Structure 1
Amino acid sequence: MIGVILAAGMGTRLMPLTKDIPKALLRINDVTLLERMIKNCIAAGISEFIVVVGYNRDKVIAMCPEIAEKYGIYIKTIVNEEYDVTNTSVSTYLASRYIENNPQDFILINGDNVVDPEIISGIAECKHTGMIVDNYKQLNDESFKLIIDDEKFNEDRSISKGKINSIGKDLDIPSSSGEFIGVSKVIAQDIPEFNDILSGLIDEDPQNYYDYAFKELSKIKTIDFVLTNGLKWTEIDDHNDWENAQLLVGELEN
């Protein structure tokens, strides 16, 4: 299994923190977000990684060998040359297309996330293509919401299977099933279809998020929705998120 970490974005809402470095290299307790997430993946049994870079790429590329040597893992970097005019659909496609040449399962993670390590373990154990869905956090206009049809839960409500009716920020909050947190898994046999859908999204608009690909994929493949059930996480889009991330790391490390 491969861990794919998207770290190409510019992080403009975090300026001036990201003036000279991408978000993935921001440090909490002297550990970069990138290294912290790689450690979480290693704990889940992953030892091979792809990091998709763009903004200030040289600094990430220079750091990857240091992290690889420190933990005895393999890290490949892939450059999104058009990081400033595209979005995560393009970065994801570059990595997923590379993996399709030698297919194996991969976990896909937004590089600006801080998560409870058990979240990564949960998605790694998924037998099907899957998405982590927060079923606890109060939703708001910025939440990347899902409406899931035909939900089928395990007895402990840990995993739901179903089809994605709708996904995006503009969904009606009371109708939403939860929030997609930017951590997912694509199994090897689903990669060709996933890539075809991604390619269509990019042709439609290179600013599309990869998240939308799971809606179409859920129509033809089994998708597991792994619930957080209270496990904590945060994305880091702005300065308020940055403060929350520092608090969360303190909580997790204690």
Structure 2
Amino acid sequence: MIGVILSAGMGTRLMPLTKEIPKPLLEINGMTLLERMMKNLMNENITEFIVIVGYNKQKVIELAPKLEKKHSIRITILENKRYDVTNTSVSTCIASRYIEENHADDFILINGDNVVDPEIIKRIAERKNTAMIVDNVKELNEESFKLIIENETFTEEKTIANGTIAEIGKGIDIDSSTGEFIGVSKVSRKDLAKFNEILEDLIDEDEQNYYDFAYETLSKVSEIDYVLTNGLKWTEIDDKNDWNQAQKLIDEFEN
């Protein structure tokens, strides 16, 4: 299994913190977000990583060999040269096409500005199917990347839901939503070719599309496991409030 971390974005809402570095290289308690996420993945025996770079790419390129040596891991750096005019569908496709063409394998896909309870990574790593982490507890708002799952079935422990995605995105009805997709997912090797085909269709339609939309189409042809947080904590760092919340969460996780 491979860990794919998206680190190409500019992080404009966090300026001046991100003036010289991409968001995943921001440090909390002496460790970058990137290294902390890699450590979470290493706990699940993942030692191979792909990092998609763009904005201030050289900083990540310089750090990668140090992390490889420190943790005895392998890091492949791939560049989204058009990071400033495209979105996550392009960055994701760069990584997933590389995986399909070089060493087809399952991969866990994570937005580089995520801070999550390590248990979340453990739960998704255990799934055999393609899977998405869905927060079914957090109060939703207009900015939440919501999804509606139809024909739902649940495991006895109510930790996994199955079904198809009727709709996904920020603009869908809050009351009808199953929860929020938190930007942590897994693509099974058996779905890799189809996932890439769907991504390329999204990119042809609009280079500003999010990769998240690919899962809606994929759910119609392949089984997806929706791994419920059931209260496990996480945050995506978009602005200063998120940054403050991330620091509190990491203190909590480390203690």
Question: What number of residue pairs does the alignment pair up?
Answer: 254
For 1:57, give the aligned amino acid.
K
Instruction: Give % identity.
Output: 66
- The equivalent residue for 1:116 is 117
- TM-score (norm: length of structure 2): 0.99
- The equivalent residue for 1:132 is 133
Deviation at 1:229, TM superposition (A): 0.9
Q: Which whole-Å CA distance do the structure 1 matches of 2:26 and 2:161 have between them?
A: 34
- The equivalent residue for 2:77 is 77
Q: Which whole-Å CA distance do the structure 1 matches of 2:38 and 2:64 have between them?
A: 10
For 1:151, give the aligned amino acid.
E
Give the 3-state SS of the residue equivalent to 2:61 in structure 1: helix
- The equivalent residue for 2:149 is 148
Q: Which whole-Å CA distance do the structure 1 matches of 2:127 and 2:141 have between them?
A: 28
1:53 to 2:28 alignment: no
Deviation at 1:124, TM superposition (A): 0.5
For 2:19, give the aligned amino acid.
K
Deviation at 1:127, TM superposition (A): 1.1
Q: Which whole-Å CA distance do the structure 2 matches of 1:111 and 1:120 have between them?
A: 14
Q: Which whole-Å CA distance do the structure 2 matches of 1:219 and 1:61 have between them?
A: 38
Deviation at 1:189, TM superposition (A): 1.1
Deviation at 1:77, TM superposition (A): 0.5
**1:142-181 mapped onto 2 (5 Å cutoff):** 142-181=143-182
- TM-score (norm: length of structure 1): 0.99
Q: Which whole-Å CA distance do the structure 2 matches of 1:92 and 1:56 have between them?
A: 18
Q: Which whole-Å CA distance do the structure 1 matches of 2:50 and 2:177 have between them?
A: 32
- The equivalent residue for 1:62 is 62
**1:185-204 mapped onto 2 (5 Å cutoff):** 185-204=186-205
Deviation at 1:68, TM superposition (A): 1.2
Structure 2 gap segments, 5+ residues each: none
Give the 3-state SS of the residue equivalent to 2:157 in structure 1: coil
Q: Which whole-Å CA distance do the structure 2 matches of 1:191 and 1:123 have between them?
A: 17
Give the 3-state SS of the residue equivalent to 1:85 in structure 2: coil
Q: Which whole-Å CA distance do the structure 2 matches of 1:159 and 1:249 have between them?
A: 26
Cα deviations by residue, 1:128-151 (Å, 9 ceiling, x for unpaired): 000000011110111000000011
- The equivalent residue for 2:93 is 93
Q: Which whole-Å CA distance do the structure 2 matches of 1:69 and 1:179 have between them?
A: 36
Q: Which whole-Å CA distance do the structure 1 matches of 2:45 and 2:139 have between them?
A: 31
Deviation at 1:6, TM superposition (A): 0.2
- The equivalent residue for 2:217 is 216
**1:11-30 mapped onto 2 (5 Å cutoff):** 11-30=11-30
Q: Which whole-Å CA distance do the structure 1 matches of 2:152 and 2:158 have between them?
A: 10
Q: How big is the alpha-carbon RMSD for the aligned residues of Structure 1 and Structure 2?
A: 0.5
